[in-house]
Structure 1
């Protein structure tokens, strides 16, 4: 091997450019093609040669030109993520999990957020990602308008959608990964029924969201199977103020004995309920039990600690990336991940029937 220190001095005096693959080849005494083989882990390289090349890379401080590699291989090692507003805990937790999993696999991530929930906004955002020549797209926006946009566009790259969609078209190349929302709602409702509750109201999520639809179905089916009336109170949004408004309306019915338990479609709605009930002098869980969905980090620090359904967002993110990288056209059906019931202090047997 030539003298690396002398080479670096000469190079520094003549140019401030970063070291290239040709520089590595010159220092290691090999061809440009051999350096490329070492960088790409090609098996047909002698171990001694591989060591010399790696030493030259280390001593020169050489870093691969990923842009040039992308041009040569038609791959950017970049994954696009389409998501929705940052105020939504579930999608943002999933995005972070996908990003971490992608980074561990050596991929870069570019994220685009939608500013509204309609087909036009979804099409614009998806086109923005594909214009960046991403190798694949993970969609973390469980809204019906987004899935309709994906059906229309027929993207040329692999696509994985994190959404509880049950009406997937036959032979659809898009892969779906999600927590079994219907089963989570069933677990929540069965928990309340097991405590002796029959008058269970569901504060449902906003229309157009697949997760809200699936949770509503799971709750309704479980109530019907038990022979109880299913009474729904639709919320206008996923956020705590909508839960608070629902609580203000429901508090008089709790006091009248018409309701003994509430299953909220997410933890933010449940937290809004807790506030409204407290202001109205309704005690949780003595007067009414409350169950949420998601298991926010703050759920166990409220008074009372919130009973909820935990979604394993980290598992969802890793599964979405694995599905994207595998991109097996022969695979069929969604990949569902099981939720877990977390019982805390906000639920108890009803004080009166």
Structure 2
């Protein structure tokens, strides 16, 4: 008769051995993938595991294999949509590969903060780490350190001796700028993000390159800090220029470096009595979940954060296993999402 305490406790390896009619050592060999186990015996043990609902003890396995099956993530300023979505993609991809994730979040990515984060993760026995480092200063600080395990960056290791994965920010900016020109606008204004952010710089570069390729002198860049309020202030300036008709560059279209700032721009234009897109078309970047519900629904650039997470984890595991082909920089292409905020000039 089974005692109540036995019914409540989780099954052990000894229970699996008893259920399968084999030794404890045989169960251990099956769980570790040992080649010298007969197929019939392996099937018996596997069936017993499924019947009992046995789950391996990760801590005990780590002691035997010297593998923690844990990946570290260092996230600098993860409160914004892009870094937060990247973090979620990394956690999902790691879980699919059978790894746990230990995350350290940082407000700033200076050298001392990054070094402390690496030391913290090393103490937890991680096998490698992904660093979400969207700021130029963070990547440069990381490049000066010597991590005790493999490290892969997300966003911005290009040009440095660090493997990394990045969305193609410049391509996304090119797509949206080309779209705005194709809908009949003479030029496109740009509300950029903070100067130290690599994605901000890449988006500005893509915008500028398209205008210059079309023989258009880029208007001066307006700058925000990713927040709706900073976009609102930029939108007020754009509205003033549009209503006054000042300057050589007409204000009929604006590419805003993220959707939150675009929300602020749209409000400022609306308060000034400027209709979007009839008078000023507006496009953003990121495709946040609310973008399709803005007044009007926002044209934007969608980043594949699931693919970014998957490629980052795969690249890190290659370095952990020693199968990586040197320092690789992987780029994930974005997608232009066209909505009502950039309807063509002829009303189509």
TM-score, normalised via structure 2 length: 0.89
Structure-to-structure mapping, 1:172-211, within 5 angstroms: 172=161, 174-211=162-199
> Higher mean Cα deviation, 86-95 or 242-251?
86-95
Query: CA shift at 1:117, angstroms?
Result: 3.9
- Gap change, CA 1:313 and 1:55, over 3 Å in 2: closer
* Corresponding residue for residue 149 of structure 2: 157
Measured against aligned partners, the alpha-carbon deviations of 1:116-145 in whole angstroms (never above 9, x if no partner) come to 243332322232222211111112231112
User: 1: distance between equivalents of 2:185 and 2:176?
Assistant: 12
Query: Conserved in 2, the CA contact under 8 Å of 1:164 and 1:181?
Result: no
Of residues 122-131 and 205-214 in structure 1, the stretch that sits farther from structure 2 once superposed is 122-131
Instruction: Please give the alpha-carbon distance, in whole angstroms, between the structure 2 residues aligned to 1:287 and 1:34.
Output: 75
- Which residue does the alignment assign to 1:3? none
What is the distance in 2 between the residues matched to 1:18 and 1:293?
48
Whole-Å Cα distance in 1 between the matches of residues 5 and 14 of structure 2? 13
CA contact (8 A) 1:240 1:271 kept: yes
SS at match of 1:297: coil
1:252 corresponds to 2:240:
yes
Alignment TM-score, normalising by the size of structure 1? 0.88
Task: Give 1:349 shift.
Answer: 4.1
How many residue pairs align between the two structures?
339
Gap change, CA 1:33 and 1:149, over 3 Å in 2: farther
Q: What residue is the counterpart of 2:39 in the other structure?
A: 47
Q: Map 1:338-353; keep pairs closer than 5 Å.
A: 338-350=333-345
Which residue of 2 is the match for residue 312 of structure 1? 304
Q: Does 1:227 align with 2:219?
A: no
Q: Is the 8 A contact 1:164 1:179 kept in 2?
A: no
**Does the aligned pair in 2 maintain the 1:295–1:309 contact within 8 Å?**
yes
CA RMSD of aligned residues (A): 2.4
SS class of match (2:341): coil
Which segments of 5 or more consecutive residues in structure 2 lack a partner in the other structure? none
> 1: CA distance between counterparts of 2:56 and 2:240?
67
Q: CA deviation at 1:9?
A: 5.0
Greater shift, 250-259 or 177-186, is seen at 250-259
SS state of the match for residue 51, structure 1? helix
Q: Tell me what 2:325 maps to.
A: 330
Contact 2:187 2:211 in 1 (8 A): no
- Give yes or no for contact 1:137–1:157 (8 Å, CA) kept in 2: yes
In structure 1, runs of 5+ residues without a counterpart are 1-5
2: distance between equivalents of 1:348 and 1:255?
Answer: 20
17-26 or 227-236, which moves further after superposition?
Answer: 17-26
Hey, what's the Cα distance between the residues in 1 that align with 2:289 and 2:100? 28
